[in-house]
C-alpha cells in the first residue's frame, strides 16, 4: 500500500523489500514480519537486516516496546529525507 503523511511518501509492506517504489528517491518503507526484537539497533537486526536503506524501518511492536510508532517518532528515527510524489 502507498500512502502520504504530511507530504512524505510511504510504502507499507508486510516484509521488507530492497526494491520498492521510490526506494532510491526518499520514499519510506515501513514493514513488520521480521520480528527484530528489543535488542535491535534502529530497527535493523544486524547482520540479517544490515542491507536495508535508512528510509526503511521495522514498525512491528516487538521492535518498538510493544507500542505503535507515531509519525513524529518515525521522522526522528528515519531522519529527513527527500519528499517525492508517487
Residues 32-55 have pLDDT tens digits of 888 776 666 665 566 667 788 889
User: CA nearest 30: which of 85, 66, 75, 65?
Assistant: 75
Between 20 and 12, residue with greater pLDDT: 12
Q: Which pLDDT score is estimated for 86?
A: 44
Tell me whether residue 85 is in a domain: no
Q: Which pLDDT score is estimated for 85?
A: 46
Evaluate if residue 19 carries a pLDDT over 80.
yes
How many CB atoms lie under 10 A from the CB of residue 41? 9
Tell me whether residue 84 is in a domain: no
Tell me whether residue 46 is in a domain: yes
Q: Which pLDDT score is estimated for 42?
A: 60
Q: Which pLDDT score is estimated for 52?
A: 84
| Angle 52-58-59 from CA coordinates, rounded to 5° | 155
In the chain, the number of structural domains is 1
Residue 7 and residue 83 in contact, taking contact as beta carbons nearer than 8 Å: yes
Domain that holds residue 46: 2-78
Tell me whether residue 16 is in a domain: yes
Tell me whether residue 83 is in a domain: no
CA 9 vs CA 12, 15, 79, 85: distances in Å: 10, 18, 14, 7
Tell me whether residue 65 is in a domain: yes
Tell me whether residue 12 is in a domain: yes
Whole-number percent of the chain with pLDDT over 90? 33
Evaluate if residue 60 carries a pLDDT over 90.
no
Residue 16 and residue 56 in contact, taking contact as beta carbons nearer than 8 Å: yes
Q: Burial-class residue 62 by CB neighbours within 10 Å (0-12, 13-18, 19+).
A: middle
Tell me whether residue 38 is in a domain: yes
Q: What is the pTM (predicted TM-score) of this model?
A: 0.80
Amino acid at each position: 500500500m502507498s500512502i502520504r503523511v504530511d507530504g512524505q511518501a510511504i510504502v507499507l509492506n508486510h516484509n521488507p523489500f530492497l526494491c520498492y517504489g521510490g526506494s532510491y528517491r526518499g520514499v519510506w518503507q515501513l514493514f513488520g514480519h521480521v520480528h527484530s526484537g528489543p535488542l535491535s539497533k534502529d530497527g535493523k537486526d544486524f547482520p540479517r537486516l544490515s542491507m536495508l536503506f535508512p528510509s526503511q524501518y521495522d514498525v512491528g511492536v516487538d521492535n518498538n516496546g510493544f507500542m505503535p510508532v507515531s509519525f513524529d517518532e518515525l521522522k526522528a528515527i528515519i531522519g529527513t529525507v527527500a519528499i517525492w510524489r508517487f
